[in-house]
Chain A
Amino acid sequence: MPADFISSLFVFILSAFLGIELIKRVSPLLHTPLMSLTNALDAIVVVAAIIIAGRHETKLSTILGLVAVAASFSNMVGGFVITDRMLGMFKTGKAAKKP
């Protein structure tokens, strides 16, 4: 078993537990924005896609990497745009009274 695996597992377990604790505290009111936000954060795989596409190891890996860049970056941009829009709609009684 590679040494990297253990340290990766360590990071994974801690992040998953932290995630569970944080997400339990998110109000059900915001479950839809939560899903779109975590989607946008998950789109950080774009960094791996950029490296694969930028390394030019084989033609295939470059093409697959470039498709992955487009797919994940669209998630990043779209996820943040829609989360921001949705949150802008959530107003309290006082704020909503304003035109």
Chain B
Amino acid sequence: MSPADIQQLIDFTYIAAAIGFILAIKWLGSPVTAKRGVLVGEIASAIAVIATLSDPQVSQYKWIIITLIIGAAVGVPLGMVKMTAVPQRTALSHAFGALSAALIGIAEYYVAAPSVPRFQMAEIGLEVIIGSLTFTGSLIAAGKLQEILPQRPITYKGQNYVSLTVLAAALGLVVALVLHPEMTFLFPIMIGVALIFGIMLVTPIGGADMPTVISLLNSYAGFSASLLGFVLNNKVLIVAGALDGASGFILSVIMCKAMNRSFTNVLFGAFGQVQASAAGAKEERAVKSASPEDAAGILAAANTVVIVPGYGMAVAQAQHKVRELYDILTKKGIDVRFGIHPVAGRMPGHMNVLLAEADIPYDRMMEMDAINGDLPQTDVALVIGANDVTNPAARTDQSSPIFGMPIIDVDKARTVMVIKRSMAAGFAGIDNPLYYLDNTMMLFGDAKKFVGDIVRELSGGSH
């Protein structure tokens, strides 16, 4: 075969890979076919990689094989992390994806510099900027999620103007490079500015906004790969990047809707800051607190129970105790379901994987809209480590910073039980009127220990 024939063959495998990617996402749509989706994605990726290795342009395999092995050696442990660490792992993988796209763009630039055609210069410039800012932004997000960095928003006066100026400077440098390709010294400056912008973009964003930010970074990582496809005229990169970018984009829209906020508000609003001041005005009111024995008694007498988990359940690692509670209540003939808010946790679908890890059947996990209609007929709503997503002020109090946000209507259940460490306000710093309702009982303590105590009471009382 001539090199041109091989090239054509490789292009055909890329088309096959693109079909595989599309089928992979299609089949991931439902839990029944999802595994098949992963398999077809794996096969498609493997075919494309093997075909590329046989490309006549590629010579001297030694280092490529070594780096592939290094990649696999890093990737496997990152694939084996605990489910509670999935948000930071995801942020880290956005960083890796964006890094490789940026590095390839940089390599392309220096191979062609200083005589880079103008159009290609613009493409490379944008591609490297998006890749670089996604790289540092994702690292900051991963640091916040791993709690190496403070999760609270870090803000200062005039921050948004400074950030936007930095972004404008990076874009200005691309324009300068397009007009004056001989000024190659501007290229590393452009990279540096983009890296700094990525840090500035994510630093002011608080932990509770992480689901949106992770989705946005996902989208950027995808689009940087797509742009790289434009630079290299490689269509399979364009397809994979567009699918990834579209996925991140849709998820960010869903997350924003679930918080009743706009993109600009998430990126430039520094949410937690505003609310900290709103929380200062709260008055001391009486709450009813209850012991594990009381809670067990009420649960045992119920016919229907809805458990609403939040980030606090993940922090306390309480999901396995929750599964024991689920088992024991189900055995008593009580109907137990889980009501999951789209932004509960630190990334889209976070609660679902935690509960699935604890062996809770997925047909018991209900979306917010599916469970809300049933809550008025529910005997007990048990809130574990969730706060703002159950705050009825979002429905009633126009002055509340979260007014208009869709919530899980636990307050409509006959009895509400809230497991919480203390009366301290939630992550967003907003007081929650739910805790002062007549039908609400506060269960103060560590989520894992408290659920464990309830389980002990229930199993002790059953014989």
Using known A-B contacts A34-B28, A38-B218, A47-B52, determine if residue A74 contacts B74 with beta carbons closer than 8 Å. Answer: yes
Tell me the complex Cα distance, A51–B57, Å.
Answer: 7
Cβ contact of B243, chosen from A36, A38, A46, cutoff 8 A: A38
- Is B90 a contact of A38 with CB atoms below 8 Å? no
| Residue in A closest to B360 when the chains form the complex, CB atoms | A96
Tell me the complex Cα distance, A25–B360, Å.
Answer: 23
Q: How far is the CB of A71 from chain B (nearest CB, A)?
A: 4
On chain A, the residues within 8 Å of B460 by CB distance are none
Cβ contact of A36, chosen from B25, B90, B254, cutoff 8 A: B90
Using known A-B contacts A34-B28, A45-B104, A95-B361, determine if residue A12 contacts B238 with beta carbons closer than 8 Å. Answer: yes
| Residue in A closest to B358 when the chains form the complex, CB atoms | A89
**Interface size class for chain B?**
35 or more
- Is A54 a contact of B110 with CB atoms below 8 Å? no
On chain A, the residues within 8 Å of B67 by CB distance are 53, 66-67, 69-70, 73
State which residues 115-164 of B face A: CB under 8 Å: 117, 119-120
On chain A, the residues within 8 Å of B245 by CB distance are 16, 19
| Residue in B closest to A72 when the chains form the complex, CB atoms | B100
Cβ contact of A52, chosen from B25, B93, B104, B363, cutoff 8 A: B104
- Is B353 a contact of A32 with CB atoms below 8 Å? yes
Tell me the complex Cα distance, A58–B14, Å.
Answer: 26
Does residue B264 face the partner (Cβ distance < 8 Å to A)? no
State which residues 41-99 of A face B: CB under 8 Å: 41-58, 60-62, 64-93, 95-96
On chain A, the residues within 8 Å of B365 by CB distance are 29
- Is B55 a contact of A54 with CB atoms below 8 Å? yes
State which residues 1-57 of A face B: CB under 8 Å: 1-2, 4-5, 8-9, 11-12, 15-20, 22-57
On chain B, the residues within 8 Å of A35 by CB distance are 90, 214-215, 218, 247-248, 251, 347-349
- Is B75 a contact of A38 with CB atoms below 8 Å? no
Interface segment out of the listed B78-86, B194-202, B283-291, B301-309: B78-86
Q: Convert B212-249 into 0s and 1s, putting 1 for each residue whose CB lies closer than 8 angstroms to a CB of A.
A: 00110010011001101110111111111111111111
Tell me the complex Cα distance, A77–B202, Å.
Answer: 27
Residues on B facing A (Cβ under 8 Å) = 14, 17-18, 21-22, 24-26, 28-31, 34-35, 37-38, 41-42, 44-45, 48-49, 52-53, 55, 57-61, 63-64, 67-68, 70-81, 83, 86, 89-90, 93-94, 96-97, 99-101, 103-104, 106-108, 110-111, 117, 119-120, 214-215, 218, 221-222, 225-226, 228-230, 232-251, 254, 340, 342, 347-350, 352-353, 356-357, 359-365, 367
Q: A47-B52, A68-B103 are known contacts; what are 15 more A-B pairs with Cβ within 8 Å?
A: A8-B233, A20-B250, A22-B243, A33-B34, A34-B25, A34-B349, A36-B93, A39-B90, A43-B97, A45-B237, A46-B52, A50-B58, A51-B57, A77-B72, A91-B361
